Amino acid sequence: MLGAIIGDIVGSYYEVLEINAIKERIDKKRPYDERVKILDKRVSLFSEECFYTDDSVLTLAIAYAILNNVSYEDSLRKFGLAEISLGCDKYGRSRFGSGFVKWLENEKDGNSFGNGAAMRISPVGYYFDDMESIYKEAECATIPSHNHVDAIAGARAVAMAIFLARTGCGKDDIKKYIQNTFGYSLDMCMEDLQHNYKFSSKSIGSVPQAIFCFLESNSFEDAIRKAISIGGDSDTIAAICGSISEAYYGIPDDIKQEAISYLPEEYKKIVTDFYSAVNKKNQGKKLVLDK
């Protein structure tokens, strides 16, 4: 779960740069040479320009629902409305997309096919211990606001990739399962994405790319950097990629602590409580917040 929050925070400012490029450039994307600067390890993951966004807030809402045995819909509305009450985000924008805001305000049915469900689903992949439960819970956590078949598939794919990664499956097996089960093509080219990928908030247009970045990585940090290097919806792609990469690699302690420092106290508590519950449930075998 924390991997998703880290990806969101690190990717937050890069998403702003991508959106600005869409407005300013004829080709509607940031140049390759700007995108790949993040691959240089001398470039810090975190900066004062970073901030947590809706990806983190709604991930925490899913974790809260699990911990407190409340409905996913109630928790999503509780966290969403509380966040909206704070006004604009650090970048002067609405804290959520317009469709989700309309859903929160009961002006729109939850029929989105966007990537908003996949970005928040990681607590399901970490908490539940069998494929059937994860498949079912991923749908339950998705349908309140994203009941389109593509959104449900995206959330299930991410949750299942997390489960497979945390239970010891190798990348080849994870790739094969995701491709065979969800029909995603994961035979992409990293350099091609870095040159040509354009912003998409559709589940079908961003979830496979995020999973691919995990498959191409060699460490948690490398996964986050690669996810951001392809551009597009950077915070969400990095959140999805980070959520799977955490399960596969773990997270370096310095990155954990830096990310947590961006969260308000009430969100920090949910993170701590969630990992405590999962560690207790799983006898501390895989998911440890502080190593």
pLDDT tens, residue by residue, 191-239: 999 999 999 999 999 999 999 999 999 999 999 999 999 999 999 999 9
Token reading at 88: 């604009």
Judged by DSSP in three states, 233 sits in: coil
| 131 in a structural domain | yes
| 75 in a structural domain | yes
Write a three-state SS string for 87-129: CCCCCCCCCCCHHHHHHHCCCCCCECCECHHHHHCHHHHHHCC
pLDDT at 9: 98
| Neighbouring-strand partners of residue 202 | 114
- The pTM for the full model equals 0.95
| 68 in a structural domain | yes
| 291 in a structural domain | no
Give the mean pLDDT of 1-10: 98
Q: What CATH number corresponds to the domain at position 146? A: 1.10.4080.10
Strands (DSSP E) found in the chain: none
pLDDT at 93: 87
Give the mean pLDDT of 101-121: 92
| 289 in a structural domain | no
pLDDT in tens, 236-283: 999 999 999 999 999 999 999 999 999 999 999 999 999 999 998 877
Q: Are 13 and 49 within 8 A, CB to CB?
A: yes
The number of residues in the chain equals 291
| pLDDT band at residue 286 under the 50/70/90 scheme | very low
Rg (CA), the chain: 17
| 53 in a structural domain | yes
| 77 in a structural domain | yes
| 203 in a structural domain | yes
Give percent of the chain above pLDDT 70.
Answer: 97
Q: Are 6 and 255 within 8 A, CB to CB?
A: yes
| pLDDT band at residue 132 under the 50/70/90 scheme | very high
Q: How far is CA 282 from CA 138, 242, 286, in A?
A: 20, 21, 8
What domain count does the chain have?
A: 1
| pLDDT band at residue 285 under the 50/70/90 scheme | low
User: Dihedral of CA 44/287/77/150: which sign?
Assistant: positive
Domain containing residue 208: 2-281
| Residue 199: alpha-carbon gap to chain centroid | 16
Token reading at 263: 């969260």
184, burial (CB in 10 Å: exposed 0-12, middle 13-18, buried 19+): buried
pLDDT in tens, 50-83: 999 999 999 999 999 999 999 999 999 999 999 9
pLDDT at 291: 31
